[in-house]
């Protein structure tokens, strides 16, 4: 069975602070894909990153960075120098289906509020 846990329900930070959103996943598959999506108040989910299980390299994209650690089954997301526009709900998700159904398993999301 697949499971994604985002233990942080809500986080508030003051603008320019760094913030890390945690994601812990469970799967028995050796091949899987991890994703982060952002859902701003408008509702549309915005794709941020995809990482496959064989690539443990951390990734940085501007103020965003991701730390993938298979040893702890975690795929954490850090926003550096947060901005008000970063306020949104962030979902971590997993695909681990050998049938190729590409079903995304979502975590419950973390609501980030950046205070000006």
Chain positions contacting other proteins, by CB under 8 A: 33, 35, 37, 42-47, 50, 91, 95, 101-104, 106-109, 111
Q: How far is the CB of 18 from other proteins (least distance, A)?
A: 25
- In angstroms, the Cα distances linking 9 to 17, 51, 56, 91 are 18, 23, 26, 11
Looking at residue 16, the DSSP 8-state letter turns out to be T
Q: How far is the CB of 14 from other proteins (least distance, A)?
A: 23
CA dist., res. 44 & res. 3, Å (int): 23
Cβ proximity to other proteins: between 13 and 49 the closer is: 49
Cβ proximity to other proteins: between 1 and 101 the closer is: 101
Q: How far is the CB of 22 from other proteins (least distance, A)?
A: 15
Cβ proximity to other proteins: between 67 and 106 the closer is: 106
Q: Where are the alpha helices (DSSP H) in the chain?
A: none
Give the number of other CB atoms < 10 A from CB of residue 95: 20
Cβ proximity to other proteins: between 17 and 98 the closer is: 98
CA dist., res. 14 & res. 34, Å (int): 28
Q: How far is the CB of 9 from other proteins (least distance, A)?
A: 9
CA dist., res. 71 & res. 53, Å (int): 11
């Amino acid at each position: 069975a697949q499971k994604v846990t985002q233990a942080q329900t809500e986080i508030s930070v003051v603008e320019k602070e760094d913030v890390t959103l945690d994601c812990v996943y469970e799967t028995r598959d050796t091949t899987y894909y991890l994703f982060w999506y952002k859902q701003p108040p408008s509702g549309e989910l915005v794709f941020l990153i995809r990482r496959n299980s064989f690539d443990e390299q951390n990734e940085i994209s501007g103020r965003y960075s991701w730390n993938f650690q298979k040893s702890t089954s975690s795929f954490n997301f850090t926003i550096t120098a947060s901005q008000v526009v970063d306020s949104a709900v962030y979902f971590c998700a997993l695909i681990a289906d050998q049938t190729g159904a590409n079903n995304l398993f979502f975590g419950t999301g973390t609501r980030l509020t950046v205070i000006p």
